[in-house]
Every structure is written in structure tokens, then in C-alpha cells.
Chains A and B, each alone.
Chain A
Amino acid sequence: MKTFRAHPTSIRVLFVTLIGLASLPTALSASKSNVTIQVVQNSTWVRRSPPGVPYTAGYLRLKNTASREVRLTGAQSPICRVVELHTHVHEAGSVHMKKIDAIPVGPGQEVELKPESLHLMFIDLKSDAFGSTSIPIHLQFSDGTSLDVLAELRDYGKDGHGHSPEPQTQKGNS
């Protein structure tokens, strides 16, 4: 599994992990017994930056199974000093990145963070940031829940050049 959850109680984590292992390739992430926000399976990846570049971007697809809007409000990762939520502003042949406070996901909807669009911005990468092909990311949401996911580290030429993975329908695991 590329992604999995971590949650308040270790028992729940163990339980959900076992369920996930038993039902591969399905389960991904949930927050509490009343599932709200999920990360679509195999949708989480981080681009390996060129040598010497201390920034990179990460992507994923969020699915909200709740009946109310949930917003992604923050992220952290041990591979860098700061993770910010960013979008791109396109204006007549030019573009710039812009930090945003949150990424809303409407009830029953999916939102994709993808190249040249919404993304996680990893700032001030540590020297050993790409020492592993799995990048831990902690996601925080407006409903007070959080998710821990493992993102796949992708090289250029291996889908790390700008193509997001094919969306895969996720099954919730409430």
C-alpha cells in the first residue's frame, strides 16, 4: 500500500491496517468511524527535484464522502522545513504560484492536486529528502481530522514529469 492512515488510537490504526492488508488493493484512508475525507489510492506522489533545488511539489486526490464540505488546511512532512498549499494563477501567457490557506472538497466530491494546478509545495528540502522512495505526509483537515499518507517518489520520465496517475476509485472503509 502506498498510503495508509494513522489515527488517534493505536488500536484503530492496527485494525484498519489489518483490514487494509486483507483487502488489497482497496482501502486507503479515512479519519474516524464516520468517514469524511479520503485520499484516493495510489494518487499520492512527490516529484524528485533536480539536484540542488531545495523545493519540490507533491500531488494527490482527495475524496469527501461526507455530507458537508471538508477543507484541507495544512500539511507537514519530515523531508522539508515547511509544506504549503499552493495553486497556480495563469494570466495571459504567464503563471505564478500562490499560497492558499485551504483546499475545499465539497460533499461527495473529489479534488485533485495535480501538476500545473493545486499542489503541495515542499519548501527547504533536507539534504536526505529523497533518501527513500516513500515520502511521509501528514494532512490536516477542517473537521479536525488528519491523515498520514506515504507518497511515491517519482523521477522524471517515470510519470514525474507532469502527468498525474490515472484516478482510481476508492472504497471507503468506515
Chain B
Amino acid sequence: MSAKTFPPVPDLLKIFAATTAAVGLLMGGGLYLANRSWDRMPPGGDFTLSATKGNFSLHEVKGKLAVLYFGFTRCADVCPISLHKLSQALAKLNPAEQSDVIPIFISVDSRRDTPETAQKYVSFFRKNGIGLAGSASEIAPVAARYGASYMIQDEPGSALGYSVQHPTRFFLVDRFGRFRGAVETSAQESELIDQIRRLL
């Protein structure tokens, strides 16, 4: 199972989606609409972090679909692959849809990343992306609010000095600022596109 999203608003659709998901699970494939790793849906919500032009708050992109990604710029493998995948998926949307989706890269590497490095990084993948950074005490509550677990682990035997454990998910926030669920970065591109379109 690679996609983790949450039901559309109307109750009938919820029932239909849950049924479909259950069938999908029984069949060993398809989407499902409850995240097994979360006992309870993380609340999400507004937050403020540092951007290149000062503070940025999530409500500033209200009216757009925000795709949050928690990573770090010195990640040489998973982060660039994931962001490139998102970029490729968004490129498949029509121009109007594309302008309605804002990728937001949140660095969880407070020691090395700055708003500038985060912005430069996300811009490489998506021109309208927003790069955010902050101190450890600023990042932690934001990540916790979205169920985005991360951890800094010392690696004394490595020239890196430490490694950064970070989520392998895209977190989707709808036009109204509501956290609607996460899609695994390992999901098929078509699934990612479907989940994004579902919320547009």
C-alpha cells in the first residue's frame, strides 16, 4: 500500500471510499483511506517558519493545495528523488491545476539548512516551491502536528557527522488549510496525481 489519504468531505463519499478501500485491501492493492501508522489523524493546521523573505505562514497559500515535504538539502538520495517525483507528477497537471499546487519544502536539518538553502533547493525542482527552515524548537512542533516523525542521529564514524531520519511521505493540505492525509513517496506517479487532483 503506498497511498495514504483521507476521505472527501461528503458522508456518502466517505462510505463509498471506505468500502472501496476495504475491497482494495482485501485484494492486496489499491488505495486505502486510513493511515495505519497513525492511531489518530494528526491535526495539521497553520504554522509559521522562516522563509527567505521573512516569516511564512501556511495560511498565506490558502486557496491553493499545499504539498508539504519534510527533508533536508544534503540528502543525496531520497529527498531529491522524492522532490523530482513530485515535480514530474505536477508537470502532468494542466496549467491551471499546476498553479494551484504549491510544494513546500520544510528542512528538518536545523544545523545546516537555512531559509536560503531550503528555497534554492526546492526551486531547483519546482519554481513555485517554497523553502522553509527554522530552529529545532521551531521545526519540531510543526512536524509533530503533521505526524512527520524525524530524528537527528549522530554518525561519528561518517564524514557526515550525523544522519537525518525524515518522513517518506508527501503531506497534503487542501485549499482551506485542512490537513487531508499523506501519500507515500513510493506511490506510483499516477496515484500521487490522483490524490492531488482529488483535493483540487
* CB-contacts of B145-175 with A (<8 A): 149-151, 153, 155, 157-160, 163-169
Q: Please choose the segment from A29-37, A116-124, A127-135 that sits at the chain B interface, where 4 or more of its residues have CB less than 8 A away.
A: A116-124
Judge whether B76 is part of the interface by a CB distance below 8 angstroms: yes
Contact of A161 among B81, B165, B182, B184 (CB under 8 A): B81
* CB-contacts of A130-174 with B (<8 A): 156-157, 161-162
* CB-contacts of B94-131 with A (<8 A): 117, 120-121, 124-125
The answer to whether A49 touches B80 (Cβ under 8 A) is: yes
Interface residues of B (CB under 8 A from A): 37, 73-78, 80-81, 84-85, 88, 117, 120-121, 124-125, 149-151, 153, 155, 157-160, 163-169, 182, 184
The answer to whether B77 touches A88 (Cβ under 8 A) is: yes
Answer whether A49 and B163 are a contact pair too, CB < 8 Å, given A95-B168, A161-B88: no
* Nearest CB on B from A21, distance (A): 34
The answer to whether B85 touches A162 (Cβ under 8 A) is: yes
The answer to whether A123 touches B121 (Cβ under 8 A) is: no
* Chain A residues, CB < 8 A from B37: 92-93
The answer to whether A93 touches B169 (Cβ under 8 A) is: yes
Closest partner residue, chain B, to A125 (CB atom):
B76
The answer to whether A52 touches B117 (Cβ under 8 A) is: yes
Cα of A111 to Cα of B77 in the assembled complex, Å: 18
Cα of A99 to Cα of B162 in the assembled complex, Å: 10
Chain A contact residues: helix, strand, loop or mixed: strand
* Chain A residues, CB < 8 A from B157: 99
Closest partner residue, chain B, to A54 (CB atom):
B74
* Nearest CB on A from B1, distance (A): 12
Most buried by B among A81, A95, A99, A122: A95
Cα of A91 to Cα of B37 in the assembled complex, Å: 11
Answer whether A50 and B120 are a contact pair too, CB < 8 Å, given A94-B149, A161-B84, A162-B84: yes
The answer to whether A84 touches B158 (Cβ under 8 A) is: yes
* Chain A residues, CB < 8 A from B164: 96
**A interface, how many residues as a size bin?**
35 or more
The answer to whether A51 touches B77 (Cβ under 8 A) is: no
* Nearest CB on B from A122, distance (A): 7
* Nearest CB on B from A50, distance (A): 4
Cα of A47 to Cα of B76 in the assembled complex, Å: 9
Contact of A119 among B77, B120, B158 (CB under 8 A): B77
Contact of A96 among B74, B76, B153, B169 (CB under 8 A): B153
Answer whether A56 and B159 are a contact pair too, CB < 8 Å, given A93-B169, A156-B84, A161-B84: no
Cα of A53 to Cα of B159 in the assembled complex, Å: 15
The answer to whether A99 touches B81 (Cβ under 8 A) is: no
* Chain A residues, CB < 8 A from B76: 47, 49, 53, 55-57, 97, 119, 121-122
Cα of A124 to Cα of B149 in the assembled complex, Å: 27
